[in-house]
Amino acid sequence: MWHKPVLLKLRRSGLFREVTLTGAKVRASLSETLFLDVYHDPTSGSYSYGLIDLATSFAGDKRVLGWDDYPHENVERIKQLASFPHHFHLRDESGAWVFAESAMRGHVEVEMDAVIKAIKRYLKTARGRG
């Protein structure tokens, strides 16, 4: 069961106020409107780690950063990455997506350490702007 060590690691991080298994995903809440969703399909190895901010002013997708292996067929910039289809995405200050290479490969238990560190950096930077 992939989610058991992920739940434990996220809970032990002390970063999240609540960590739960909801259906096929792990949700780790920082607040009412800010949370990490972790999806993993052990059969295909597909994954998605996304920090969602429901309070963001940007229309549509409320993710502010994340990693996944979805090929996004219509996004040429992702296809050009050496790590394709694996990629990191982050919203810039205008709300546009910035895509970058990613070392993530869907090894969820191991990769949660890097996800937690990245969220801590993001929160520190976001607080500095706000």
pTM over 0.85: yes
Above 50 in pLDDT, residue 128?
no
Label residue 54 exposed, middle or buried (CB < 10 Å: 0-12, 13-18, 19+): exposed
How many domains does the chain divide into?
A: 1
The whole domain housing 36 covers: 3-129
pLDDT for position 127 = 56
The pLDDT tens digits for 57-96 are 888 889 999 999 999 888 999 999 999 999 999 998 888 8
Confidence band of 20 (pLDDT split at 50, 70, 90): very high
